[in-house]
Structure 1
Amino acid sequence: MMSIRTRDASHDDLPHIAKLFDLYRQFYEQAPDAELARSFVEQRFLNRESRQLVAENAAGEIVGFSQLYPSFCSVEAAPIYVLYDLFVAPDARQGGVGRALLLAAEALARMEGKARMDLTTAKTNLVAQSLYEALGWTRDEVFHTYSRRLAP
């Protein structure tokens, strides 16, 4: 296990987050696009549309990030976070970075009074699923998730 420190992202962190975000998108079979990645994470940060957390190794290098979007659960009539993005640099995997980011996100959500956190991951991402389940996340067996692409 490597020494990991998590914290809220600052504006200075955005270039590092953008690099990881571009790799994250490639993991989900999107074409590399450094400018799109930079613009997207910067806009979410500047517009305060998400909370971004970073994980640093002992040398102070950013080796992972997570991005949380505020939302609401109508059934519970309460605010929640959607943990949409979580990515660890390939050379930092298996070192506790993902675990540290998840625990930091949970602590933030509790501190801000969120009722729960939701996330989705690819059915093939078994490594991530095992981490989520080890930390007490439960797979939804009640609801189906649907999406519909909207033409511009």
Structure 2
Amino acid sequence: MGSKLRIHQADGCDLNAVAALFNQYRMFYGKPDDAAGAARFIGERLALRDSVIFVAAAFQEPADAAWEDAGFVQLYPSFSSLSMSRLWILNDLYVAKEFRGHGIGRMLLNQAKEHAVRSGAAGLTLSTHPGNLAARRLYESAGYVEDSEFVCYNLSLQNTAR
């Protein structure tokens, strides 16, 4: 890539950058463009500190180029009752299309792992679309193992009266 890369934990100063990447991530999964909603959601996560977000920025030559937002990973805290320990849910990992194939996703995964280790967690858990083969290869090459022990279920509350 002929560039430098930096990864740091996002804070309020990173809202616009992370929100733009988050909006692209959602569109990758077929959701409609919603920049305002993405900014609101990420702004809440940063303000409430109920997730941890790491953002990657790339600097490409020539010397007058600027840092460009390349990707992000978002983690949510959780716990395992069976192991009686902290876990992190790796909920979102996204690398902008123009930066794919340069190891940024792997670097973000490594940053997530380092954070989990520093926090004393027993592990990380994630899910991905079965057809997202590139992501699955990345996760497996980073040591993640497909769960064959448990079946996951979801219950949507979108249309439930409150």
Does TM, scored on the shorter chain, surpass 0.5?
A: yes
Q: Which residue of 2 aligns with 1:87?
A: 94
Q: How many residues in Structure 1 have an aligned counterpart in Structure 2?
A: 152
Q: Which moved more, 1:22-31 or 1:44-53?
A: 22-31
Q: Distance in 1 between matches of 2:146 and 2:133?
A: 12
Q: Distance in 2 between matches of 1:4 and 1:110?
A: 22
Q: Which residue of 2 aligns with 1:149?
A: 156
Q: TM-score, normalised by structure 1?
A: 0.96
Q: Which residue of 2 aligns with 1:123?
A: 130
Q: Distance in 1 between matches of 2:14 and 2:24?
A: 16
Q: Note the alpha carbon deviations across 1:116-149, whole angstroms, 9 max, x for none.
A: 0000000010001001111111010111111011
Q: Which moved more, 1:23-32 or 1:54-63?
A: 54-63
Instruction: Report the aligned-residue RMSD.
Output: 1.1
Higher-Rg structure is 2
The alpha-carbon deviation at position 60 of structure 1 amounts to 2.4
Q: Structure 2 matches for 1:58-137, cutoff 5 A?
A: 58=59, 59-137=66-144
Q: Kindly provide the amino acid, as one letter, of the partner of residue 69 in structure 2.
A: I
Q: Which residue of 2 aligns with 1:18?
A: 19
The alpha-carbon deviation at position 11 of structure 1 amounts to 1.2
Q: TM-score, normalised by structure 2?
A: 0.90
Task: Name the structure, 1 or 2, with higher relative contact order (CA <8 Å, separation 6+).
Answer: 1
Q: Is the 8 A contact 1:82 1:119 kept in 2?
A: yes
Q: Note the alpha carbon deviations across 1:43-83, whole angstroms, 9 max, x for none.
A: 01100110000111124222100110001111111111001
SS of residue matched to 1:145? coil
Q: List gaps (5 residues or longer) in structure 2.
A: 60-65
Q: Distance in 1 between matches of 2:40 and 2:151?
A: 32
SS of residue matched to 2:77? strand
In proportion to residue count, which structure has more strand?
2
Q: Kindly provide the amino acid, as one letter, of the partner of residue 37 in structure 1.
A: A
Q: Distance in 2 between matches of 1:115 and 1:4?
A: 28
Moved >4 Å (runs of 4+): none
